[in-house]
Amino acid sequence: MSLLRRRKQPQPPPEQPNEDSSNGSDLDEKGMKKPGSSSSSAAPPPEAAAAAAKEATKRTRARWSCVDSCCWLVGCVCSAWWLLLFLYNAMPASFPQYVTEAITGPLPDPPGVKLQKEGLRAKHPVVFVPGIVTGGLELWEGHQCAEGLFRKRLWGGTFGDVYKRPLCWVEHMSLDNETGLDKPGIRVRPVTGLVAADYFVPGYFVWAVLIANLARIGYEEKTMYMAAYDWRLSFQNTEVRDQTLSRIKSNIELLVATNGGNRVVVIPHSMGVLYFLHFMKWVEAPPPMGGGGGPNWCAKHIKSVMNIGGPFLGVPKAVAGLFSSEAKDVAVARAIAPEVLDSDFLGLQTLRHLMRMTRTWDSTMSMIPKGGDTIWGDLDWSPEDGFECKAKNQKINDSEVSKDANGKNEVHPEPVKYGRIVSFGKDVAEAPSSEIEQIEFRDAVKGNNIAHSNTSCRDIWTEYHELGWGGIKAVADYKVYTAGSIIDLLRFVAPRMMQRGSVHFSYGIADNLDDPKYGHYKYWSNPLETKLPNAPEMEIFSMYGVGIPTERAYVYKLAPQAECYIPFQIDASAEGGDENSCLKGGVYLSNGDETVPVLSAGYMCAKGWRGKTRFNPSGSKTYIREYSHSPPSNLLEGRGTQSGAHVDIMGNFALIEDIIRIAAGATGEELGGDQVYSDIFKWSDKIKLKL
């Protein structure tokens, strides 16, 4: 208590500086009076104080370096990351769904839950056939630069090694340029099991949503099988190197035998559609070329083939990829930042390394357009003539509008000549064919290219280094290429690649399917040069998205000359006259799923295989199921449940429901038959093909 009552002692007044000390503070080291000093103790004027403070601030800012800014930025990013990670792990699992439902309303039940409530149960075993690039690949043997990567994914997963050692990654992902098989000392093999293609990268599903919904009605790993394969190889070489086709045959037989004799439902996606078409011919063909299953194997083992986004007749996108390592998005990117993709920026030479790698993947040649001008059109005609690329919110331009009989505004789009798959210049793409003067390129003499002797060029070798200026000029002088001349174009600019491809793939139309030559495996993935199996009870579905602008033809230009360069590129400056134009960034767009045009995905089931035809002699039933694209309404919906995009459609609830019903025992008729939103039947009727 005495402490509480103790009062604070008064402090003595501060000692006043005497005149000597004051005067001393005004003297410098030499005893001279400092400028501006005063013998009095008065405070400096306000102007001087403000100037001193400003000078101190400048000195502080000068000390803040670029390193400080980087550290500050990294600190903020890391802090935000850890905060979000904490919140993600702390919040209830149902919180994202709660927020989504609060914004958009109650979400519908997933198809598996809905159909489980209806009483559907697993019946037919299911086989998944992934497409190009969606299946994981792992390293089993590599060079010294790949030390520590044994059985690590080189493709799929996190792609961490692309950033750590990009050139080593390119070397190991490339195949031998002569054989189309492994390079010496390198073995990259497909990942097996359902995990091979459930997710492409963490968080980006491919088959995972479909697998989860099938599990809702009782499916498990013993009733589902992922037919993983090395999608870089030609289809027949997957059997030569890995015996993949034999493994698929054995697994299907096992699934049927262990599930009460119920035949399998096969679900191929993208290029997997062509791969399984090849398999159905291989399995019936006698050895050594085929699997020796006999003419009735498919009838005994396959209930339905539900093709998703199938490029049955190829895709123009494959032409752009092989010709210049481009597509629409790449062309836009290189137009925005050419230094990143075109030049030797940081020594990356991105597109050239990409071309070097992808031109060794023989599978890419399976998707070159098939059927020539008969299917895809010529200089003056195409099946899609009259297609209109209407913007969702049209803005009417008075100069391009007329009024119909009812007085309503009617937009007249410019007609698109889709048959001209590659045109050198927008003027050539739009000109009447009579005004186009083509100079034959097939017999042109390829000039010398000094860049071929450059060491760095040999390191990223593409066949353009052997084409020379003379060959490049000859290609451009021909001006326009249709599906009929595209094959000759690729043979001219990439003869070694096409020489390998000609052993494994064909792109024509068979005159007589009974000709013994069509027993060769090179024809088996072309639906226009092969017959469907003798399986009248087998159903074939073509399921794909519509309503998304899809690449159909290209406007090209010569690229600026440089060492080790790709001489051709899409002219991203070529644009249509208005927002309703089909020409965007040098690419003519048509209806499709963003990758496969409707014409390629739908023609065979709409007409080529419909009923008993020479391509479908047993009369297997065919159905078209189109899914109109509806993008997600907000970010919380992720990739959406009504998407028609080429990969995102794998999460489309309507498509998943159709698949589950067929797997549970329904037929195509019970599903409702055809479901069509596009003009596929109208376009198919325009194609004059002997059936």
In a domain, 157, yes or no: yes
434-450 burial, b if ≥16 CB within 10 A, otherwise e? eebeeeebeebebeebe
In a domain, 346, yes or no: no
Encoded tokens for 383:
């099946």
Q: Find out whether 373 and 482 touch, Cβ atoms under 8 Å.
A: yes
Encoded tokens for 682:
């109208």
Catalytic positions are 270, 593, 646
In a domain, 590, yes or no: no
First to last CA, the chain: 113
In a domain, 572, yes or no: no
Length of the chain counted residue by residue = 691
**DSSP code, position 607:** I
pLDDT at 543: 98
Q: Find out whether 501 and 365 touch, Cβ atoms under 8 Å.
A: yes
**What is the model's pTM?**
0.83
Q: Find out whether 419 and 483 touch, Cβ atoms under 8 Å.
A: yes
In a domain, 502, yes or no: no
Q: Tell me which residue range forms the domain holding 157.
A: 137-190
Alpha carbon distance 604, 610 (integer Å): 7
- For 8-63, give the secondary structure using H, E and C: CCCCCCCCCCCHHHHHHHCECCCCCECCCCCCCCCCCCHHHHHHHHHHHHHHHHHH
The rounded Cα 528 to chain-centroid distance in angstroms is 26
Of 262, 155, 163, residue with least CA distance to 206:
155
In a domain, 39, yes or no: no
Number of domains in the chain: 1
Q: At what angle do helices 235-242 and 244-257 cross, to 10 degrees?
A: 80
Tens-place pLDDT, residues 523-569: 999 999 999 999 999 999 999 999 999 999 999 999 877 666 788 99
410-431 burial, b if ≥16 CB within 10 A, otherwise e? eeebeebbbbbbbbbbbebbeb
Work out the angle at residue 136's Cα, subtended by the Cα atoms of residues 135 and 142, and round it to the nearest 5 degrees. Answer: 135
Encoded tokens for 115:
């159909």
Tens-place pLDDT, residues 106-154: 667 899 999 999 999 999 999 999 999 899 999 999 999 999 899 999 9
In a domain, 403, yes or no: no
In a domain, 685, yes or no: no
Alpha carbon distance 343, 340 (integer Å): 7
**DSSP code, position 605:** I
Angstrom CA distances, 503 to 131, 201, 237, 365, 510, stand at: 21, 33, 11, 11, 17
Q: Which residues, other chains included, contact 488 with Cβ-Cβ below 8 Å and sequence gap of 6+?
A: 442
Of 679, 657, 509, residue with least CA distance to 606:
679
Q: Which residues, other chains included, contact 385 with Cβ-Cβ below 8 Å and sequence gap of 6+?
A: 377, 415, 416, 418, 686
Q: Where are the beta strands (DSSP E) in 202-345?
A: 204-205, 224-226, 264-268, 302-308
pLDDT at 355: 85
Strand partners, 201: 204
Work out the angle at residue 75's Cα, subtended by the Cα atoms of residues 69 and 78, and round it to the nearest 5 degrees. Answer: 140
Residues lower than pLDDT 70 in the chain: 1-47, 49-50, 53-67, 88-89, 91-107, 161, 328-349, 391-414, 447-462, 562-564, 636
Work out the angle at residue 157's Cα, subtended by the Cα atoms of residues 153 and 163, and round it to the nearest 5 degrees. Answer: 80
